[in-house]
Chains A and B, each alone.
Chain A
């Protein structure tokens, strides 16, 4: 068993040797976040920013805009609290910053609520252009970190404090945006992310004895959510459950609900800003562009009712 924050720290050292434009920023948590190994090995590329996460994220953006690949690391709760800097200096600027939030969920234990990242997925997920990844075990974490380096956009990586069991096989290959089927079954679909995947898998195996056959899928990429998998699955089973050590408001459960509830058989359609940025223009023009004026509203209603 190994905490995904530890796998991350080990991967950083390995990748730091291969990518000389990789830099790491810390806010006085290097031992907790596990960047101390990188700091010792590559002191020139380790930037200690002190307990000032907003500035750390802005500085990371400046480094990214100058060609570096910065990993800005802290607890998930403290990073998501610096939302406005992430919103403008990282997301809107399309700065290639890797935001790494450890100590996610109630799984951190004794430190209590203030140190628990419980809203971070929700907060990062609504920012256009930021992908949200929560790896499940050591193997997946290492590959997700390398993916983040190759991915030329901002990434949010969500990691555990506590050790987690290995879920994937040794020859596992991480595929961004693709759910991983860990167990077959047709009675119910169980979608899980992060530390809960192992427990869900164990539970599902035991339920076989009670004649309940569950399909278990690891959702490591919460944004973009694996739409194709969800649409295929809901044809097979109408029973779906989601599991996450995170608020059910805005997390994996919400991401799944957003996809399946908009299917015709269910019948919810959400109109709003669809994962993009705002821009300048007159109010009337913008309402037309985003489908908020009367005519656009009529059209979207008719389209949804298939009467267009």
Chain B
């Protein structure tokens, strides 16, 4: 991908990380680790693929995006702010009483959210339903869905994985934010999900593995994806929990706690140097 474009996306990523940190600090609670690991995936999808704007945000033929790992929602709200769907003032109300920015995504309070998620394991099923709907309507919009790695321990995810190839859902693109850590500990210790690529391939998906923080690799995977292939796509994006903030990276404890003011300041300083 060209250098100017890449620099632009990297700039978005930095702004979004800063917003995530500020939002969670102000709320006093939230999930920084799994929000920070998501950033490049979301930036690429929203700026390069979905191309969401204020004008097309509720268009019937828009690409859909389902954040199945609902606790990563600060990253999504930050994207919405970056696009102009939300104001920075709105972000200040994250998790507050009466706010449209609920602790987990709520499509009724905030219509730019495509599906209410947060109870892990359900989002992929909803995305499969949306992909079937697009086929029934003979529309060519795409459905993007992001799963968490711990999330795929849920049985319903495998029901959904089994079902998508049956309906030839080549319009369904699933990203796994594979940051290797879940709430209690490393995924491998809690309940191993490996070997992952072969497992999902054997469910009849087209599987790709990339570095989920590298825009060139995210860009290349879309070039590689064979448009004529009827299989749904599953992109295992290897990421780092807490990416971008040195003291949060690969630390289990930053799954679900807010930084204090001092830690927040330190994090923001790191992002801008």
Binding site for B on A (CB under 8 A): 23, 44-45, 47, 49-50, 52, 54-55, 57-68, 70, 84-85, 87-89, 92-94, 279-282, 285-286, 289
Binding site for A on B (CB under 8 A): 60, 95-99, 101-103, 106-109, 114-119, 121-122, 124-134, 136-137, 155-156, 159-160, 162-163, 167
8 Å CB contact of B128 from A58, A94, A289: A58
| Shortest distance between the CB of B112 and any CB in chain A (Å) | 13
| Shortest distance between the CB of A89 and any CB in chain B (Å) | 5
Hey, which chain B residues are within 8 Å of A55, CB to CB? 125, 128, 156, 159-160, 162-163
Which residue of A is nearest B167, CB measured? A47
| Shortest distance between the CB of A65 and any CB in chain B (Å) | 7
Q: Is the CB of B133 within 8 A of A280?
A: no
| Shortest distance between the CB of A280 and any CB in chain B (Å) | 4
19 contacts between A and B (CB under 8 A): A23-B136, A52-B156, A54-B156, A54-B159, A55-B128, A55-B162, A58-B126, A59-B126, A62-B125, A62-B130, A63-B132, A65-B115, A66-B134, A84-B122, A85-B156, A88-B117, A89-B115, A93-B107, A94-B108
| Shortest distance between the CB of B64 and any CB in chain A (Å) | 8
The 9 closest A-B pairs by CB, nearest first: A62-B129, A58-B125, A281-B97, A66-B133, A55-B159, A52-B159, A59-B129, A62-B126, A62-B130
A55-B159, A286-B97 known; A89-B136 Cβ under 8 A = no
New A-B pairs, 19, CB < 8 Å, besides A85-B122, A92-B108: A44-B136, A55-B160, A58-B156, A59-B128, A60-B129, A61-B129, A62-B132, A62-B133, A65-B126, A65-B130, A66-B133, A68-B133, A88-B119, A92-B106, A279-B98, A281-B96, A281-B97, A282-B97, A285-B97
Hey, which chain B residues are within 8 Å of A85, CB to CB? 122, 125, 156
8 Å CB contact of A66 from B98, B103, B124, B137: B137
8 Å CB contact of A87 from B103, B119, B126: B119
A62-B128 Cα distance, complex, nearest whole Å: 7
Interface of B is mostly: loop
Which residue of B is nearest A25, CB measured? B129
A279-B126 Cα distance, complex, nearest whole Å: 22
Hey, which chain B residues are within 8 Å of A89, CB to CB? 115-116, 122, 125-126
A85-B125, A279-B97 known; A59-B155 Cβ under 8 A = no
Q: Is the CB of A59 within 8 A of B163?
A: yes
Hey, which chain A residues are within 8 Å of B159, CB to CB? 52, 54-55
A61-B115 Cα distance, complex, nearest whole Å: 9
Q: Is the CB of A57 within 8 A of B133?
A: no
| Shortest distance between the CB of B136 and any CB in chain A (Å) | 7
Hey, which chain A residues are within 8 Å of B101, CB to CB? 280
8 Å CB contact of B102 from A59, A61, A280: A280
A57-B122 Cα distance, complex, nearest whole Å: 9
Hey, which chain B residues are within 8 Å of A59, CB to CB? 125-126, 128-129, 132, 160, 163
Q: Is the CB of B122 within 8 A of A58?
A: yes
Q: Is the CB of A88 within 8 A of B122?
A: yes
Residue picked from A68, A93, A280, most chain B C-beta under 10 Å: A280
Which residue of B is nearest A89, CB measured? B122
Hey, which chain B residues are within 8 Å of A62, CB to CB? 115, 125-133
A66-B125 Cα distance, complex, nearest whole Å: 13
8 Å CB contact of A58 from B108, B133, B160: B160
Hey, which chain B residues are within 8 Å of A87, CB to CB? 119
Q: Is the CB of B133 within 8 A of A67?
A: yes
| Shortest distance between the CB of A30 and any CB in chain B (Å) | 16
Which residue of B is nearest A49, CB measured? B163
A89-B125 Cα distance, complex, nearest whole Å: 9
